[in-house]
Structure 1
Amino acid sequence: MIGLARDVDRLPPYEQELTAAQRERVERLLAGPVVSLHDHPIRLPDPLTPQTWAEQSSAGTDRLGHAGLRASGLDVVLASSLADPDQQRLLRWAARLREDVDPDGPRVLLALEDLGSIGTDLDGIVDLHAAGYRSAGLVYNTGNALGGGLGQAHDDGLTSLGREAVAVMNGLGMLVDLSHVGDRTSIEAARSSSAPVVITHAGARACWPSPRMKPDDVLRAVADTGGVIGVEAAPGSTRVHGRPAHDLDAVMTHVAYIAELVGVEHVGLGPDTFFGDHAGLYAAAGWAPVPVPGHEDVPLPDHVAGMENPAEAPRNAACWLVRHGWSDADIAKVLGVNAQRVLDAVLR
């Protein structure tokens, strides 16, 4: 049996200095709604090695971190599978994870990162929706038959099949996620959609020049649909120019930038975290971080202090926003009001 990482107290708590009155505000704000637009709330293997990761992946035995989720303050979490080209494997993963949902925990909505698994068969979207998926990345980094990915040298835009896919998702009541989509394809998909679209996990390229971050015109295109941008905290992602650390302050700098750019009504949280050694997963799974031009030598952090896992992210974000003088109304929007508005508008 593969050992699993602890989903509570794996690392010491991240401390922020607040007054008693500020702590009362945080507790009141965490009463909800609190929504994660994107997480992988499963417990990673411990120890995490290429062998244990391969065993867990091949066995399909992902287990939710029930104690961590109950402690998180989350009301809703979009629990994402990893990008996978195998449609049948995605359907099996959905069935197993739905069986593992804790009725006393937050509402779990299933998500996937890439519709590449459908090939050119749009009925595959219907099958994914029937299996329980309520959010799907239109395209992953390397692109697919629907459009261009953010990792491609050239993005030719949303294909005719991609336009049909957006229409199918709109009709089913399924979130169109542009997190890993190329810039041109993202803008064209947003304009094609009859419903709000989302970026469930990314950040602002103006803060950090990674292709994983989104330029201002893409952020505006999503906001123009009434959608929301979830800011992520995967190790090495939402860094900030001139700051060596990737930590809570860096992540929340992206939140503040996007709120200023498109309005606080269009920003939320999509931490993109696991229960376990997320940074170690890159090595165990053999994943290479998306290269950042001019910053290829910046090392991956051991963990993102303050945003390391799905349990601590909402509370620490709330504390940061309170400390930095945000109003209760604006904090509530970031924590979940915005995301819940979009879920209510899109899901059937």
Structure 2
Amino acid sequence: MNLDINVMEGLYPFNLTEAQEARARQLHASSIIIDLLFQGPLSPQAISKEVSSRIREQCEPYREDPMVYSGMPSKIIHDMAARGEMPAFQEEWYRSGITAGNRQLSISSIESLVTSMGEVQRQFDTADWLVKALTAEDIRSAKRSNLKAGIVTAQETDGLGKNLELLEALYHFGLRILQLTYNNQNFIASGCAEPANGGVSKFGMQFIAKMNELGIIVDTSHCGKQTTLDACRLSTKPVIASHTGVERLFGHMRCKSDEELKAIAATGGVIGVFAMPWFVYEDPNETTIEHVLDHIDYVVRMVGVDHVGIGTDWPMSDVEWSLVYFKEHIAPRIGFAKGDGPSTETVKGLEKYSYFINYTRGLVSRGYSDEEIGKILGGNWMRVFEAVWG
């Protein structure tokens, strides 16, 4: 399947010249593009109302169990894709131009870990166009062969307890990026929603050392400020924030301070800027890709173009009614304030992953060079992968 940007919909009005548009198309087609919090390739707008209604009918018997009910639509969508009943799964990924994106494990419990391992592996087993990226070269090879690469990641560690052997087993499964904590406190560190801002624990020091030894990248996206600073001090390998924003531009708990941005960059790491409407601008209904680019520009000015990337985290491969339910019933349980966090709003210019060329077009509009754009789109992530994975 080939990407034909000339017939793509959803082009954001950057008012580029014809020559700039041609340059953006060429750059987008030739670059290795990585979204390191890739919740796609689908989005609610890429799933028909008929399919959404059928999914809801399947989920209704589980409505009394909020966690199960909220999580079912995404599982059904991926199940349909694995059975070849959701062709948009492949089509949207190829239209996006994204070379590699993460495929996410859930490690909230042993049960969720085993289940998600099966679900993630099934994606690789059933899609002959999707390869598991264990090395940076796997991603380069996928680009050359017009395939897509999936990077196995996780955003929480609770299900591991203090079992470092299980962490090693996950590495052998393919885990290559792991976030230390998700919003709250665990055995390893304090999350960004913890008022105490406790930093990395004694066990957390051992955990980070084991990650360095294995070749698993330390991710600090949902970590508290002190945890981020501690991780940068303790890790012998580059540290990242796969999906975050700039605190100085929007003071949300999920955004990083200048001190954290500098600390991550000093390790040789990369800050991935997200496209979460509630976390980058004051009005989620009016958030545009220009606001996301403002965060990218700020990181570039603060720590240099070698230390910024993309980790959208939105939109989800989900359906609209499920996202509304998640915001009302689930988000408060996992550390979000009432009314805050994921729902149906999207960044204007990134309503679907097939609109991803708007990143490239936006960077062109802001005067970045071809080399700089290549770094932001994926080159910087590749440098970190090569440094940690080999």
Structure 1 length normalisation: TM-score?
0.86
Q: What is the match of residue 314 of structure 2?
A: 273
Question: 163, 175, 190: which is aligned to 2:217?
Answer: 175
2:238–2:269 contact (8 Å) kept in structure 1 = yes
Question: What secondary structure sits across from 1:111 in the alignment?
Answer: strand
Equivalent position to 2:104, from 80, 89, 111: 80
Cα distance in 1 for partners of 2:281, 2:344 equals 10
Q: 2:236 aligns with which of 188, 194, 218?
A: 194
Q: 1:298 & 1:263 partners in 2: Cα distance?
A: 29
Structure 1 residues 83 and 250, CA gap change in structure 2 (3 angstroms): farther
Q: Could you list the runs of 5+ residues in structure 2 that have no partner in the other structure?
A: 44-50, 61-68, 83-88, 130-145
Q: Which has the higher helix share?
A: 2
Aligned partners of 2:41 and 2:353 also within 8 Å: no
Kept in 1, the 8 Å contact 2:104–2:154? The answer is yes
| SS at 1:15 equivalent | coil
1:195 Cα deviation from its structure 2 partner = 0.6
Q: CA 1:320–1:167 in structure 2 vs 1: closer, same or farther (change >3 Å)?
A: same
Question: How many angstroms apart in 2 are the aligned matches of 1:244 and 1:67?
Answer: 27
Change beyond 3 A, Cα 1:243–1:138: closer
Hey, what's the Cα distance between the residues in 2 that align with 1:148 and 1:274? 27
Say which of 18, 25, 28 aligns to 1:27. 25
**Mapped partners of 1:279, 1:236: distance in 2:** 17
**What residue identity is the alignment partner of 1:132?**
G
Secondary structure of the residue aligned to 2:353 is coil
Equivalences for 1:75-114 in 2 at 5 Å?
Answer: 75-81=99-105, 84-85=108-109, 86-103=112-129, 104-114=146-156
After superposition, the Cα gap between the structure-2 partners of 1:252 and 1:292, relative to the gap in structure 1 and judged at 3 Å, is: farther
Q: Work out the CA distance in 1 between the residues paired with 2:73 and 2:209.
A: 35
Structure 2 CA distance for aligned equivalents of residues 165 and 211 of structure 1 = 24
What is the deviation of 1:53? Answer: 4.5
Question: Bigger radius of gyration, 1 or 2?
Answer: 2
**Which of residues 10, 13, 34 in structure 1 aligns to 2:10?**
13
Indicate conservation of the 8 Å contact 1:158/1:184, yes or no: yes
Q: Does 2:79 correspond to 1:61?
A: yes
Q: In structure 1, how many angstroms separate the alpha carbons of the residues matched to 2:106 and 2:278?
A: 18
**CA apart distance, 1:275:** 5.4
Match of 1:283 in 2: 324
Alignment of 1:1-348 (within 5 A): 13-16=10-13, 17-30=15-28, 31-41=30-40, 43=42, 46-47=52-53, 51=60, 53-56=70-73, 61=79, 63=81, 65-81=89-105, 84-85=108-109, 86-103=112-129, 104-239=146-281, 245-274=286-315, 276=317, 281-285=322-326, 286-288=329-331, 302-313=345-356, 315-348=357-390
TM-score (norm 2): 0.77
Moved more, 50-59 or 181-190: 50-59
> Using a 3 Å threshold, how does the CA distance of structure 1 residues 61 and 297 change in structure 2: closer, same or farther?
closer
Of 270-279 and 194-203, more deviation after overlay is shown by 270-279
Q: 1:216 Cα shift?
A: 1.0
The aligned counterpart of 1:4 is: none
Q: Measure how far apart 1:78 and its partner are.
A: 2.0
- Residue in structure 1 matched with residue 65 of structure 2 by the alignment: none
Q: Could you say what secondary structure the match of 1:164 adopts? A: helix
Counterparts of 1:88 and 1:297 in 2: how far apart (Å)? 30
2:285–2:345 CA contact under 8 A, matched in 1: no
Asked whether the 8 Å contact 1:41–1:79 carries over to 2, the reply is: no
Task: Give the aligned residue type for 1:185.
Answer: T
Across the aligned residues of Structure 1 and Structure 2, the Cα RMSD in angstroms comes to: 2.9
Preserved CA contact (<8 Å) 1:210 1:292: no
Distance 1:208 1:300, change over 3 A: farther
Q: Which residue of 2 aligns with 1:3?
A: none
- TM-superposed CA distance for 1:192, in Å, is 0.7
In structure 2, distance between residues paired with 1:57 and 1:297: 21
* Alignment deviations for residues 69-103 of structure 1 (CA, whole Å, 9 cap, x no partner): 11111222123245633332333233223224442
What is the deviation of 1:223?
0.4
SS at match of 1:237: helix
- Number of paired residues? 335
Q: Tell me the distance in 2 between the aligned counterparts of 1:62 and 1:210.
A: 36
Unaligned segments of structure 1, at least 5 residues = 1-7
CA distance in 2, matches of 1:80, 1:260: 31
* Aligned equivalents of 1:66, 1:58: Cα separation in 2: 16
Q: Distance in 2 between matches of 1:238 and 1:63?
A: 31
